[in-house]
Amino acid sequence: MKAYVSDTDDLKLDPSYQETWDDMIINFLAESLDVIQDNDWVISLGNVFGEQYVLYMPDDEHSGLLHRCLGVLLQKVDDRAYVCAKIDWMYKQANIAIPSNRLGLAKAMGLVAASHLDTVLEKLKNILDSFGKSIFQRFLSFFYDSNRMEESDDIHAALALMYGYAARYAPSTVIEARIDALVGTNMLSRLLHVRHPTAKQAVITAIDLLGRAVINAAENGAPFPLKRRDQYFFFFFLNAHTQALAVSACTTLVSVEPKLSIETRNLVMKATLGFFALPNDPMDVVNPLIDNLITLLCAILLTSGEDGRSRAEQLLHILRQVDQYVASPVEYQRRRGCLAVYEMLLKFRTLCVSGYCALGCHGSCTHSKQIDRTVHGNFSNLPSAYVLPSREALCLGDRVIMYLPRCADTNSEVRKISAQILDQLFNISLSLPRPVGSNSVVDIELSYRALSSLGDVIAILRSDASIDPSEVFNRIVSSVCILLMKDELVATLQSFQVAICDRIKQSAEGSIQAVIEFVMKRGNELSEADVSRTTQSLLSAAVHVTEKHLRLETLGAVSFFVCLFKFNSISLMNSQGISSLAENTNSKVVFNEVLATAGRDIVTKDISRLRGGWPMQDAFYAFSQHAVLSFLFLEHLISVLNQTPIPKGDTEKGDISSHLVDTQMDDDILQATILALTAFFRGGGKVGKKAVEQSYAPVLAALTLQLGSCHGLASTGQHEPLRALLTAFQAFCECVGDLEMGKILARDSEQNEKWINLIGEVAGCISIKRPKEVQTMCLILTKSLNRQQRFQREAAAAALSEFVRHSVGLTSLLEQMVEALCRHVSDESPTVRSLCLKGLVQMPSIHIYQYTTQVLGVILALLDDSDESVQLTAILKSSPNDAVEPILLNLSVRLRNLQICNNIKMRADAFAAFGALSNYGVGAQREAFLEQIHAALPRLILHLHDDDLSVRQACRSTLRRIAPLMEMEGSVGLFNSHCFNSDHRSDYKDFIREIAKQFIQHLPSRVDNYIAPTIQAFEAPWPIIQANAIYFSSSILSLSDDQHILALYYTQVFGMLVGKMNRSTDATVRATCSSSIGLLLKSANSVSWRAARLDHADSVRRDYESESSRK
């Protein structure tokens, strides 16, 4: 309401908006009054409405809305006296000379009649009686009182409309008696003698409303006949005869000088073309009107323009205005439209073809006809190309597509006239000069043979000989196919949407047949751009066609289109030998257009709720069920998926938080491709399944890579692509019968953190269920490691790392995979690096010896990678000595660095791998490796009681393996004792005491090397390791009697324990500090330590006193 009041700019653009706003306001008021139950309030509102009339000027056309508002209100009032008073007031305030106000008043009376029919009819009768005149009186008023006649016409027009709307809005159950009274008493006939055109329109509208009221009553179960109907027909016939005379007069006016201006021409055509839509009966009235209308159009054509070009433009303008009737669903309208076109073409041919040789000769020749100067004027100084239009000016492509469907029409006369129209068009076109620089080549002899054949068909049609209409249509299509020049053919093909969407089913089917004929015979002339636009037209037609059979026929034409352009020569009846034919890339253009159209539908429509189903899905089904196209279409879909980049964060080493969609491939194309694959898997039947089975590895590889991409999108909150892909993946599993894979996908497929493992499980399933497909899959995925998309590389690496485990017997393939995995351990993605390393160390043991050197080199390079979890144990167990020995020390040093990593798995693997290296600590490297053992031993002992079980187990295993190399008596038994294998802290403390004794007793020279790194571990990031270091160092100091060790570390450790006990927030650390201090104080070394401390204090004091006495 606010918008209506404040913004009237839309009314300036289109006056019809006013009616929309008015209806909205009336509905709003009616619904509001339905809610309000207070009758007094409604009456007071009616009084306010009545007072509003003073706000309007007498000629204000907007007061009609106020009438309707009051009418809606009176409909809700039960007080008859109040209603009578208000309708009297409405009528007095209405300026019925203004059509809009007259209409508003009539609608208001109709609204009141819905509840107070008798009251309204009584009021109308009183008005009619007070202004009633005899026909003789009205005739006399024409001469002596024209103003009075116009006033009477206005009143009668208003009364007619009010009667009409009263009947239309009144309840169906009560209008029969009122209409019978109204008609039977001849009351309404007194309204038929109006003379003003606007008043006549009002009376016609009233009669139409009256008839609709009768129809509505019949539909509601209260049928009754309308009396005196013939009298109304006579009223219409009289006006129709007047119209015929008016059209004839228009023809006369058009034919005189000066020529019509464009504005006047358009005005005349707008006022008259609507007569083509008049009902067929009565024929003696309507047919002369139609004949006069066609004559008028021919006259407009004959008197327009000064040369061939301008006349051709005029012809096209008129023909395009008539197109709506040529393609009308109403049979007689099509017949009238075609007849008008044929007559105008005859006139145009007479007008323009004269003076130009039909055989193409220039200048004077025996074939040439003289120009009719009375028609053409004086063009003696102008060349014929100026007098005549060019062939291009006729736009034959557009014209053919308009009239060719009519040659397959259900009406025989329409078929006959349409064939004659095409004959005239091509007769004219062959007689006209081609545009300068035209590349189209016309075989004159072939064209005239085709034109002659078309003439033979017309002769048959004229003779009414019994001949199959489909055979006639085929001959017409064949002739037209030859007669069209290349650019005209292209225009025709690109406009076929109109023909295929023809409202006559037979014509639409004929149009599809014509497309196939044109493409089959002349498709080799089309460029890639022509193919693309033609495909768009056909797909658009398939989208707009609602009839299922026609849609399938259209998609069949698209399928044929693809077949033809995939192979230069093809017979649909015999597909043998297709593979030997030359290929043509245009089939990809067609498939791309199909996907582009589907993509636009996905974005702009709710494809799940389209009436009659989604046409593009029918297209996908058609391709998947086609013996030839199923392979081609599936191959194209896979190629589209393989070239589809997803997020930019997926392509570079930057943070994936900046995911943006790459512009190389639209997201809607990707969605369309995935939906197409789903339809292919589900709707292809045996043919589609055969295509999928033959392309199993490429299809599965593409789906796997897309699974990575879609999980990348899901990590940014875009989950819909992943759901669509998983649906396609499940459909694939169902299509090929891989039920186990389907179960794997159904389990955790949407959990973003598990997708790497999911792909590994799928790869393992394939290796077991379809081992023959592994080699092809691996070749595809190996190449995919080079892709720019990060998540696709990760998906490829996840699958390959699993396939390596099942590569027994695939020697040549394994070599390629190892090479690819080794090459990509330097990938930007840490996940790819980790997966490549995982694949290398999971190599079957029978192949590991062959690749040990290569794999170890990779591992050595990756040991500094802080993002990796190192998995050396498997590879080291079976590696030969000569491969490991050269890098043994480097591996040892780097593994020791990894043993303090925060990553639990990495720590465990580093400790386990160090134990595996003990196999190679013999020979020339034994002494050097033994030094590495002693350097790592304190850390192994401290992490023997790590928080993580896997780390504890790795340390136990490693200590057992290095014990023989240490040659420490009793160590083997200690490393197999209960306290060593127990996870209880008290047992661990017992082990610490025992191992400290062993070190002091058997390795006293190494104690210094053990205690220094242990003290450093006081600041380890794990509280439990701090506690272990505190207890281990305290145990050594409490048991050692080496004064050098005590002098170096006793005071330091004691002070650190005191500070640690005060500062640490961890209870285990504080408790261990307390017990360790106790160990130090109770030990025999504490007495010598205290004596040493006292001697040191006395020495300091004496030095201080002597220094003071000197001063």
Last residue of a domain, one of 942, 967, 992: 967
Q: Are residues 881 and 956 in the same domain?
A: yes
Query: Are 108 and 124 in the same domain?
Result: yes
| Within a domain: 1069 | yes
**What's the confidence (pLDDT) of residue 21?**
79
Is 839 in the same domain as 850? no
Mean pLDDT of the chain: 77
Q: Are 192 and 103 members of one domain?
A: yes
- The structural domain count of the chain equals 4
Residues 1015 and 947 in one domain: no
Output phi, psi for 567, to 5 deg.
Answer: -125, 135
- Determine the pLDDT at residue 235: 52
User: Does one domain contain both 954 and 1026?
Assistant: no
Which is more confident, 851 or 746? 746
Of 803, 792, 721, 793, residue with least CA distance to 762: 803
811 & 888 share domain: no
User: What number is the average pLDDT over the span 656-677?
Assistant: 65
Domain end position, chosen among 843, 869, 895: 843
The answer to whether position 691 is within a domain reads: yes
Q: Determine, yes or no, domain membership for 1033.
A: yes
Q: Residue 750: give the domain boundaries.
A: 634-667+681-843
Residues 1032 and 1042 in one domain: yes
**Can you tell me the distance from the alpha carbon of 674 to that of 644, in angstroms, rounded to the nearest whole number?**
11
The pTM assigned to this predicted structure is 0.53
Whether residue 49 lies inside any domain: the answer is yes
Please work out, in degrees rounded to the nearest 5, the angle formed at the alpha carbon of residue 353 by the alpha carbons of 351 and 355. 100
Distances (CA, A) of 547 to 283, 397, 409, 411, 606: 34, 26, 18, 21, 19
Tell me the per-residue pLDDT of 439-490, one tens digit each, with 9 for 90 and over.
555 678 888 899 999 999 998 888 876 778 888 999 999 999 999 998 888 8
Residues 950, 1020, single domain; the answer is: no
Give domain status of residue 291, yes or no.
no
- In this structure, of 524-533, 865-874, 1009-1018, 1092-1101, the range with the lowest mean pLDDT score is 1092-1101
Q: Is the pLDDT of residue 131 over 90?
A: no
**Whether residue 925 is found in the same domain as residue 837:** no
Location of structure tokens 């619904």? 31
Q: How far is the C-alpha of 735 from the C-alpha of 677, rounded, in Å? A: 11
Q: Using CA atoms in the order 470, 476, 480, 481, what is the torsion angle rounded to 10 degrees?
A: 40
Show which of 843, 877, 898 is a domain's final residue.
Answer: 843
Q: Which residue in 528, 636, 646 sits closest to 589, CA to CA?
A: 528
Q: What are residue 661's DSSP bridge partners?
A: 647
Amino acid at site 938: P
Domain for residue 917, yes or no?
Answer: yes
Q: Strand pairing partners for 574? A: 571
pLDDT tens for residues 3-49? 555 555 555 555 566 777 788 888 888 888 888 888 889 889 889 98
- Residue 327's pLDDT band, with cuts at 50, 70 and 90, is very high
Give the span between the Cα atoms of 39 and 169, in whole angstroms.
22
For the ranges 177-181, 502-506, 603-607, the lowest mean pLDDT is seen at 177-181
Q: Looking at the predicted structure, is the pLDDT value of residue 318 above 90?
A: yes
Residue 582 to residues 558, 569, 585, 694, Cα–Cα distance (Å):
20, 8, 10, 22
219 lies in some domain: yes
Q: How many CB atoms lie within 10 A of CB 1063?
A: 10
Tell me if residue 484 falls in helix, strand or coil.
Answer: coil
* Residues 768-784: tens digit of each pLDDT: 889 888 889 989 998 98
Once rounded to an integer, what is the mean pLDDT over residues 288-313?
84
Where do the DSSP E strands lie in 473-611?
none
Residue 917 is encoded by which pair of tokens? 């290296």
Looking at the structure, do residues 663 and 796 belong to the same domain, yes or no? Answer: yes
Q: Assess if residue 849 is contained within a domain.
A: yes
Q: Are residues 920 and 1030 in the same domain?
A: no
Where is mean pLDDT largest: 3-17, 297-311, 687-701, 745-759? 687-701
